[in-house]
Chain A
Amino acid sequence: MDNQQKKHGALLKFVPRPDRPPITITYGPVGWLKKNLFGNLWNSLLTITVFFLLFLLLKPFLEWTLFKAVWSASTRRECLSISPDGACWAGIFPWVNNLLYGLYPDALQWRVNLAFAIGLLWFVPLALKKVQQKILFALMGVMLFPFLANYLFLGGDRSSVHYIVACSALAYLLTLYINIILTYLNGKRLEQHLETFMERFSKKRAALLGHSTIWFFLTVVIAYVFKDQALEHVGVDAWGGLFLTLIISGVSIVMALPIGIILALGRRSEMPIIKWFSISTIEVVRSVPMITVLFMSVTMLPLFFPNTMELNKLVQVLVAVCLFAGAYMAETVRGGLQAISRGQYDAAKSLGLGYWRTMIFIILPQALRIMIPNIVTSFISLFKDTTLVSIIGLFDIMLMARNISIDKNWLGLHTEPLVAISVLFFVFCYSMSEYSQRLEKKLNTNR
């Protein structure tokens, strides 16, 4: 070793390597800028160009919407005299009421608000952790709430059955909330308090009996309390605006799932008649535009009913939209059904479960769980598609917005209402799609 070193001593002179280039900063705001915007010459040039274009585009837009906009004026002429090249948002404000409720009388709009508040209350517990049997009360909500809502929206002399169902819906909601409060207070539900008493009548179903007794009792009380409260009749013609849009999309969203499940199961059925009926329904509805289904419902449905019977347009539209949404949902559900492995069916069969039990307890819960993001996506597109009802003359938010330009004070005010409802739709749809994406991530991590 030592000898070798001496021999080559002359050769082993220390020669420093050239310096390494300085480390490019890849952290912090500067690093981020370097990496994402100014990585190389081409990238920097691109960034500057895009920035410039964006500036050119956004400046007039912001000026129009905000800086030069008129927020209070009594007519469009006044708007134009204040600022000729700004938006005239003043025209929207007197119409906000109509945009939200259509021609629903001002004094009775509390009914709409009340119904929507109750609807929201019904679905708040779904987000609470301690609440049990979420599916049950969501299902009850879907079945009972429409009667209550319809009773409130329509008013007038309804049949007593309708009245009692509406009261029972209210009573059910009340029991639900009492139960939730009790669960959070001491962990015992209402029927569990009654259990010892109810066991005298039936040992097995004491809880159910207790619950239904309270429900029945509350129904009677509510029906008695409100029996003199007559609600003024508001015809379907007066419904409109966002209110109508939400009704149509709400009903079709709620109906789409059961119709879709039935059609999807029918399509996979082994009975030829059911199978071919489902296939032809799905394929025909899916291969024609929604507008033709709407026209079909409006022009053809009256032909199949006796002349004396007057169908209202809303019902016809709802039939069409539900059919349409159901056919699309069927394909979504079918996608979920196909993703379930054969083993699940075999396992269910070996446990001795029949067709319906297999479907309800084994297959559908899994299939729907997989398809939740897709279902939300189709809800979003359904919500957007409800604007089509304006073509056949229902006064939804779209047609209401267009009517502003006919108002003699705001003659020719086209752009602002369209922009306003666009923003509204964007907020609704964007938040729904963000929610579905978050849901998708959550479901993926759970698996």
Chain B
Amino acid sequence: MELPFGFDFISSTAGFDIGWSIIPYEPTMSYGRVYLVGIFNTLILSALIILFATISGFVVGIIRLSRNFLLSQCARWYVEFIRNIPLLIQIIFWFIVVFSTLPPPKESYHLLDIFFLNNRGFYFPSPVFESNASWTLITTLIAGIGSFILIKKSRAYRKLSGNRLAALYPTLLALLSVIIIVFIATGTPLHWKIPTLQGFNFQDGYFFPTAFAAAFVSMTIYRSATIGEMVRAGIQSIDRGQLEAAAAIGFSPFKTLRLIIVPQAARAILPPLINIWLTILKESSLAVAIGFPELVSVFIQTSLNQTGRAIEIVMMVMFFYMCTSLLISFVMNRYNKRIQMQEG
């Protein structure tokens, strides 16, 4: 099997089907398209995991610091159990034991007849935009930019005069009302398509396959434990004196949290949090073990087996992960530099 090195295979027809993709895909499309499908599937999976794991991680971290012994011990053992069991075992456990044993579509679990969960996946309504919807979009954009400028101005004003000028809530209110007025004036151009059972399967709406759901749930849980531990360490790293000082000058608990704890904890938490986000992006490739069509699965496994272009394909996949990792770390490091303590 001697193949010349080259990327000419990208434009040739792939010919195999992919179980699930967010961008449209047909087997007649090229390997380049397969690459894109893999990238987008990986990105949506890791973006959702990052979002939910960060939120639940903060919840776990705060529960861990609760003064209630029972509650904090629950959080502690949750963290210990989750992070000491390999992720791959957890992914496969969720896929085989939980999501594959769900009932068939006809008997699926449902919430208000809008969301459905069965052994094919998770079904939810999809938005349908009519042609007028673009007006609402434009208004939202303009209002967003306007409010951003206003908030900046008010901050500058506060720095100069020392007086607080309420900006956030009025702007948000104005922004929302403008958007709603435009939305109604153009004739409510948004509808929801609710999934309905037709024959043996659901029609309309969007769905996530069970492999996606299993990968999402298991990785969110796994990373919520690690992020929780990090948040705990970050909050505990704040000197007790800071809290006492805040109490001494008469700050309320909420004000202490907002102005003393959060800004300082954020400095300690953000750098490791960025690292974990990058890890999540890389880790989402483990979904290959349960057959979710993400980049490694569609490209390194299927496409490589069909074309035999080992070097090119592995290089392309690595290139994607490298670029994305570097991009995320670049953006987040700039943000990190801004919020870190500026001495002198």
Contacts and interface: CB of A to CB of B under 8 A. Distances in A.
Q: Tell me, yes or no, whether A binds B.
A: yes
Interface string A258-298: 00000000000000000000000001100111111001100
A291 B74 contact: no
A292 B97 contact: no
B148 interface: no
Interface residues of A, number: 41
Among A291, A418, A422, the most chain B Cβ lie within 10 Å of the Cβ of: A291
Given A295-B300, A422-B89, A425-B85, A288 B321 contact: yes
Contacts of B311: 300, 303
Interface string B23-56: 0000000000000000000000000000000000
Interface in A32-72: 36-37, 39, 43, 46-47, 50-51, 54
A384 B86 contact: yes
B87 interface: yes
B286 A388 contact: yes
B42 to A, nearest CB: 10
- Label chain B's interface by main secondary structure: helix
B68 A388 contact: no
Given A292-B314, A425-B89, A426-B85, A47 B68 contact: yes
Interface in A287-340: 287-292, 295-296, 299-300, 303
A145 B283 CA distance: 34
Contacts of A430: 80, 84
Given A292-B318, A384-B86, A430-B80, A39 B67 contact: yes
A183 interface: no
A418 B93 contact: yes
A425 B86 contact: yes
A415 interface: yes
B84 A289 contact: no
B86 A292 contact: no
Contacts of A415: 93, 96-97
A390 interface: yes
B302 interface: no
Contacts of B286: 289, 291, 388, 391
Contact of A303 (B283, B310, B317, B326): B310
Given A402-B92, A414-B96, A430-B84, A284 B322 contact: yes
Contact of A418 (B67, B71, B92, B283): B92
Nearest to B81: A426
Contacts of B325: 287-288
A429 interface: yes
- Label chain A's interface by main secondary structure: helix
Contact of B310 (A37, A299, A380, A425): A299
Given A418-B97, A421-B89, A51 B285 contact: no
B62 interface: no
A302 B288 CA distance: 23
Interface in B320-337: 321-322, 325-326
B200 interface: no
B314 A299 contact: yes
Nearest to A290: B282
Contacts of B321: 287-289, 292
B296 interface: yes
A374 interface: no
A51 B318 contact: no
Contacts of B96: 414-415, 418
B296 A292 contact: yes
A300 B88 contact: no
A360 B140 CA distance: 62
20 contacts: A43-B67, A287-B282, A288-B325, A291-B288, A292-B321, A299-B300, A299-B304, A300-B314, A303-B311, A380-B84, A391-B88, A398-B92, A414-B96, A414-B97, A415-B93, A418-B92, A426-B81, A426-B84, A430-B84, A433-B84
